[in-house]
């Protein structure tokens, strides 16, 4: 959708060669940091925040380890969660004050299809950062059919149409072709569905109240927690998966699978994770939420500063067992503007996993609307919705007003520059088209949701007998 700036490779290489040491600004993890000084107006200075072990927790980790939370008057404990449902229940039940969350989780609450507890987000943790991986068995079946470039490497991006003969072979043998994704309302689910459908494969529809989403499916998708993806594929339970890093790169390191496409090449630029909390918490603790947002903005700025010079240090932080707990080399393979698809095939991916550049941290209404269109496309939203519904729903969840207030205060304090926060009406310019050539117009979401060859059309509903 939108073209984004890349990293300064020289800066990254220099940092790597220099062996950047991890700064010791705090203990992080399960040990809370004491604030530098009591901050007037902060309603709840002691906080417990949840996360899943993925590289896009980087703003939370950096805010903790570089002391940004502490400097904003907050004492924060970061706690890993077993899976996205446990994390969601922790936030809505009050055991967690906020968390690293799927954008779809907070949006589903606004759409009335997920949590009954209203959720909001003032901050986007990142954009992009996901990929699709297939098992070695599947790769060996499709690789000979893929066009090669002059360098002998497979031409990218790879269309899901390459999987069609494999899916047909599985059907003849009476076996379902299965792929994993992390949660029914995850970006990973929608990105995988988008890619499959663009290649002519139906990923299935959701019946009302259904969380399986396999009605009419050529490829059956199922939920698998991110850290378990490689092992689940290696065991043969799934034939591939869609997940965030470092779990695509883990398949390369373990030599059990091949990442075949990254999400900027599927739907263009997409939001991914957000910092989520309950609407009630945000209402009762406005100064606390502002302080949290300030700290996270500062962390995201640090992550993308000077062409990504801090990314190697960020990798060292993330590698800690209390955070992602993956090998530094595996983490590095997707955190410095490059992506390793297989041994000997590392390519520039400057738009992969941005935290601040290209306004990555801003909670754009348009990013949220895209998720809602995909929920309708696949039947999670059972009835047709008009354009105003999409806008009203996203405005009940995405809170750029909080972000903008935090950003202005950082500028006033001399911790940021005004030109780092370009003016916006909440709608990103999506210049880059998706793999199927369909352009996304966030101001005409109903027409966009109905425009796909595979997907629900106006008036259609999902029934046990299929789409009617």
pLDDT value for 40: 58
Judgement on whether residues 317 and 395 belong to the same structural domain of the protein: yes
Beta strands at 119-124 and 273-278: parallel, antiparallel or unpaired? antiparallel
**Which domain, by its residues, includes 211?**
130-268+445-467
Judgement on whether residues 355 and 282 belong to the same structural domain of the protein: yes
Beta strands at 46-51 and 75-80: parallel, antiparallel or unpaired? parallel
Count helices and strands in the chain by DSSP H and E runs? 19, 14
Residue 337 lies inside a defined structural domain of this protein: yes
d(CA 115, CA 101): 13
d(CA 2, CA 427): 12
Global pTM reads 0.91
d(CA 367, CA 365): 6
Q: What is the CATH number of the domain that holds 390?
A: 3.40.190.10
Judgement on whether residues 414 and 276 belong to the same structural domain of the protein: yes
Judgement on whether residues 191 and 76 belong to the same structural domain of the protein: no
d(CA 106, CA 121): 7
Judgement on whether residues 247 and 279 belong to the same structural domain of the protein: no
Judgement on whether residues 88 and 214 belong to the same structural domain of the protein: no
Residue 438 lies inside a defined structural domain of this protein: no
Judgement on whether residues 340 and 219 belong to the same structural domain of the protein: no
Residue 436 lies inside a defined structural domain of this protein: no
User: What's the distance, CA 362 to chain centroid?
Assistant: 14
Judgement on whether residues 181 and 118 belong to the same structural domain of the protein: no
Judgement on whether residues 103 and 35 belong to the same structural domain of the protein: yes
Residue 433 lies inside a defined structural domain of this protein: no
Angle at 53 between CA 406 and CA 241, to 5 degrees: 115
Which residues pair with residue 347 across a beta bridge?
Answer: 339
Judgement on whether residues 120 and 150 belong to the same structural domain of the protein: no
How many domains does the chain fold into? 2
pLDDT value for 33: 55
Residue 439 lies inside a defined structural domain of this protein: no
Residue 342 lies inside a defined structural domain of this protein: yes
Shortest CA distance to 110 belongs to which of 385, 299, 353? Answer: 385
pLDDT value for 35: 55
Residue 248 lies inside a defined structural domain of this protein: yes
Residue 136 lies inside a defined structural domain of this protein: yes
d(CA 221, CA 325): 27
Q: Are the C-beta atoms of residues 164 and 219 closer than 8 Å to each other?
A: no
Question: Which residues, 6+ apart, have CB-to-CB distance to 288 below 8 Å?
Answer: 42, 43, 44, 45, 47, 74
Shortest CA distance to 245 belongs to which of 233, 229, 256, 257? Answer: 229
Judgement on whether residues 255 and 275 belong to the same structural domain of the protein: no
pLDDT value for 32: 57
Residuewise pLDDT in 10s, the chain (468 residues)? 333 333 443 343 334 333 333 333 333 445 455 554 445 599 999 999 999 999 999 999 999 999 999 999 999 999 999 999 999 999 999 999 999 999 999 999 999 998 889 999 999 999 999 999 999 999 999 999 999 999 889 999 999 999 999 999 999 999 999 999 999 999 999 999 999 999 999 999 999 989 999 999 999 999 999 999 999 999 999 999 999 999 999 999 999 999 999 998 999 877 889 999 999 999 999 999 999 999 999 999 999 999 899 999 999 999 999 999 999 999 998 898 889 998 889 999 888 889 999 999 999 999 999 999 999 999 999 999 999 999 999 999 999 999 999 999 999 999 999 999 999 999 998 777 899 999 999 999 999 999 999 999 999 999 999 999
Burial per residue of 94-117, b for 16 or more beta-carbon CB atoms within 10 angstroms, e otherwise:
eebbbbbbbbbbbbbbbbebbbee
């Amino acid at each position: 959708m939108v073209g984004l700036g890349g990293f300064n490779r020289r800066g990254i290489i220099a940092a790597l060669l220099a062996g950047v040491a991890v700064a010791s600004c705090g203990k992080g993890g399960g040990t809370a940091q004491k604030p530098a000084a009591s901050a007037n107006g902060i309603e709840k200075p002691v906080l417990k925040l949840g996360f899943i072990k993925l590289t896009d927790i980087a703003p939370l980790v950096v805010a903790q380890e570089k002391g940004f939370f502490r400097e904003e008057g907050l004492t924060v404990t970061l706690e890993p969660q077993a899976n996205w449902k446990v994390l969601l229940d922790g936030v809505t039940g009050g055991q967690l004050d906020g968390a690293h969350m799927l954008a779809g989780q907070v949006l589903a609450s606004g759409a009335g299809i997920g949590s009954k507890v209203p959720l909001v987000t003032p901050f986007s943790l990142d954009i992009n950062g996901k990929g699709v991986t297939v098992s070695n068995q599947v790769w060996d079946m499709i690789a000979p059919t893929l066009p090669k470039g002059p360098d002998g490497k497979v031409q990218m991006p790879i269309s899901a149409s390459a999987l069609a003969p494999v899916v047909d072979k599985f059907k003849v043998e009476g076996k379902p072709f299965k792929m994993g994704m992390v949660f029914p309302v995850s970006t990973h689910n929608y990105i995988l569905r988008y890619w499959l459908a663009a290649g002519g494969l139906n990923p299935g529809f959701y019946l009302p109240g259904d969380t399986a989403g396999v009605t009419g499916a050529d490829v059956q998708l199922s939920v698998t927690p991110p850290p378990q993806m490689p092992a689940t594929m290696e065991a043969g339970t799934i034939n591939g998966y869609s997940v965030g890093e470092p779990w695509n790169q883990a398949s390369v390191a373990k030599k059990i699978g091949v990442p075949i496409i990254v999400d900027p090449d599927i739907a263009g630029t997409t939001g991914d994770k957000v910092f989520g909390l309950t609407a009630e918490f945000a209402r009762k603790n406005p100064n606390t939420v502002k302080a949290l947002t300030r700290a996270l903005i500062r962390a995201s700025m640090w992550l993308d500063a000077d062409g990504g010079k801090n990314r190697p240090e960020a990798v060292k932080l993330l590698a800690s067992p209390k955070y992602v707990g993956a090998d530094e080399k595996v983490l590095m393979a997707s955190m410095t503007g490059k992506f390793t698809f297989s041994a000997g095939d590392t390519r520039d991916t400057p738009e992969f996993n941005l935290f601040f550049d290209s306004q990555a941290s801003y909670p754009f209404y348009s990013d949220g609307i895209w998720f809602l269109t995909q929920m309708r496309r696949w039947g999670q939203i059972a009835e047709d919705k008009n354009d105003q519904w999409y806008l009203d729903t996203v405005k009940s969840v995405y809170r750029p007003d909080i972000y903008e207030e935090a950003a202005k205060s950082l500028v006033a304090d001399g911790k940021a520059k005004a030109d780092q926060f370009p003016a916006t009406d909440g709608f990103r310019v999506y210049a880059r088209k998706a793999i199927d050539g369909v352009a996304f117009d966030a101001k005409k979401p109903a027409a966009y949701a109905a425009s796909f060859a595979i997907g629900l059309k106006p008036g259609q509903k999902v029934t046990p007998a299929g789409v009617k």
